[in-house]
Amino acid sequence: MSAVITPFPNFQPMQVGFDRTELQRILDLYGRMVAAGEWRDYAMDFDRDAASFCAFRRAAERPQARIEKRPALRAKQGMWTLFGEAGQILKRGHELSGVLFPLERRLMKAVEG
């Protein structure tokens, strides 16, 4: 007796999330920014279209940086986007490391200065 598996038509996951390596990379940067005194709090949001990680200098204000993963844009400008404090797009890309580079560069300046 063999089992027949029938996929659901047009199945889409209930929410977008970060995989283990992506989350590890983001949290590593977060830890270094906390150690440098740049960030103090974070929040994550997961919905059907996107997952986002927001980093705050203080909990009561807008996020200083928001990293968003939107898989629907994978074939276009890339599924990763870095937003600044005013909501402006700072960087887009296909690779998380490239999108995190402006934050890592700011971290280097914070450590030097």
Q: Taking a C-beta distance cutoff of 8 angstroms, is the pair 51, 60 a contact?
A: no
User: What are the structure tokens assigned to 113, written together?
Assistant: 């200065």
* Residue 103: predicted pLDDT: 92
Other residues' Cβ atoms within 10 Å of the Cβ of residue 69: 23
93-103, pLDDT tens digit by residue?
999 999 999 99
34-93, pLDDT tens digit by residue?
999 999 999 999 999 999 999 998 766 789 999 999 999 988 989 999 999 989 999 999
The torsion of the CA quartet 103, 104, 110, 113, rounded to 10 degrees, works out to: -130
